[in-house]
């Protein structure tokens, strides 16, 4: 059981790491569509990566549910993602679109916060079964 | 040396083929993730216009198909299994 949890945690955190990694301003070719705006690039990467990570996780749980039935905390973790992922993504997209339309310092700060929330949600989803084995209350 | 028997006891209750299938799927995901990390490290210098365009397209696709992105069977929350109440035989007088 413990080994399986560690394996699952490694998979989820690996996806979180690659999909929400940060680019800095110097990493972006200014000729690209982001025009050197690392914040916009990082936001789009975090949003799309978060969705892909959530989708892979719930699909994996759904495919192997029968075999995983003796570890109910895994389904509980997946169900929390199913219930809240869209809210997390929608909130990040709303702030991202506000920054796209009005790239003000205030909106930039809000977008940085939204990215942090998304990353925290991913980490929290992984921690549900890695640490406590039981779901935590969603905000 | 103390032996952790809880893992083997838990796993003994599961079909070994299922455990293998689960582990295979998890390791497959992990392998892909590690390959992607390596690619990111190799390409660490500059994110090309083509890569930027690809990410933008992926983002636009996500927000334009928001409804369908969360509508597959694997996104549905199944209700917990119903608990059957015991059948009580009527008392005979």
Reported as half-sphere exposure (CB side, CA atoms, 13 A), residue A19 has a value of 27
Q: Is A10 on the interface with B (CB under 8 A)?
A: yes
User: Three-class SS of residue B81?
Assistant: coil
Measure Cα distances from A1 to A68, A74, B3, B93 in Å: 10, 11, 14, 53
Q: Find, in chain B, the residue whose alpha carbon is nearest to that of A6.
A: B26
Read off the pLDDT of residues A48-101 as tens digits, 9 standing for 90 and up.
988 888 888 888 889 888 887 877 877 888 898 899 889 889 999 999 999 999
**Is A139's pLDDT higher than 50?**
no
Convert chain A into a string of H (helix), E (strand) and C (coil). Answer: CHHHHHHHHHHHHHHHHHHCCCCCHHHECCCCCCCCCHHHHHHHHHHHHHHHHHHHHHHHHHHCHHHHCCCHHHHHHHHHHHHHHHHHHHHHHHHHHHHHHCCCHHHHHHHHHHHHHHHHHHHHHHHHHHHHCCCCCCC
- Judging contacts by C-beta atoms under 8 Å, the chain A residues touching residue B75 are 55, 58, 82
Reported as half-sphere exposure (CB side, CA atoms, 13 A), residue B36 has a value of 16
Question: Taking every pair of C-alpha atoms in chain A, what is the biggest distance, in angstroms?
Answer: 53
Per the CB < 8 Å rule, is A27 touching B44?
A: yes
Per the CB < 8 Å rule, is B74 touching A62?
A: yes
Q: Is A31 on the interface with B (CB under 8 A)?
A: yes
Q: What is the pLDDT of residue B58?
A: 93
Choose the most confident range, by mean pLDDT, from A22-31, A97-106, B60-69, B84-93: A97-106
Separation of alpha carbons A13 and A29, rounded Å: 28
Query: Do the interacting molecules here have an ipTM over 0.85?
Result: no
Q: What is the pLDDT of residue A25?
A: 58
Between these two residues, A124 and A129, which has the higher pLDDT value? A124
> Does pTM top 0.90 for this prediction?
no
- Judging contacts by C-beta atoms under 8 Å, the chain B residues touching residue A31 are 49
Q: What is the pLDDT of residue A133?
A: 42
Whether B74 and A75 have beta carbons less than 8 Å apart is answered as no
**At B3, is the pLDDT very low, low, confident or very high (cuts 50, 70, 90)?**
very low
Classify burial at A134, counting beta carbons within 10 Å of its beta carbon; exposed 0-12, middle 13-18, buried 19 or more.
exposed
**Is B55's pLDDT higher than 90?**
yes
Residue among A32, A51, A56 whose CB faces B62 most closely: A51
Residue among A1, A44, A70 whose CB faces B6 most closely: A1
């Amino acid at each position: 059981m413990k080994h399986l949890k560690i394996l699952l945690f490694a998979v989820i955190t690996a996806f979180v790491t690659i999909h929400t990694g940060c680019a800095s301003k110097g990493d972006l070719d200014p000729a690209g569509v982001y025009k050197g705006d690392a914040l916009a690039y990082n936001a789009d990467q975090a949003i799309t990566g978060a969705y892909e990570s959530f989708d892979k996780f719930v699909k994996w749980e759904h495919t192997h549910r029968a075999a995983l039935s003796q570890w109910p905390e895994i389904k509980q973790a997946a169900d929390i993602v199913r219930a809240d992922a869209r809210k997390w993504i929608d909130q990040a997209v709303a702030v991202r679109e506000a920054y796209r339309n009005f790239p003000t310092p205030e909106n930039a700060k809000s977008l940085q916060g939204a990215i942090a929330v998304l990353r925290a949600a991913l980490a929290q989803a992984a921690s549900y079964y890695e640490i406590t084995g039981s779901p935590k209350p969603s905000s | 040396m103390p032996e952790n028997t809880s893992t083997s006891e838990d796993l003994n209750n599961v079909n070994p083929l299922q455990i293998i299938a689960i582990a295979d799927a998890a390791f497959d995901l992990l392998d892909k993730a590690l390959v992607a990390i390596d690619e990111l490290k190799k390409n660490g210098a500059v994110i090309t216009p083509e890569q930027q365009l690809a990410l933008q397209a992926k983002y636009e696709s996500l927000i334009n198909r928001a409804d369908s992105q969360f509508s597959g069977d694997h996104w549905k929350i199944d209700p917990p299994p119903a608990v059957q109440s015991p059948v009580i035989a009527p008392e005979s007088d």
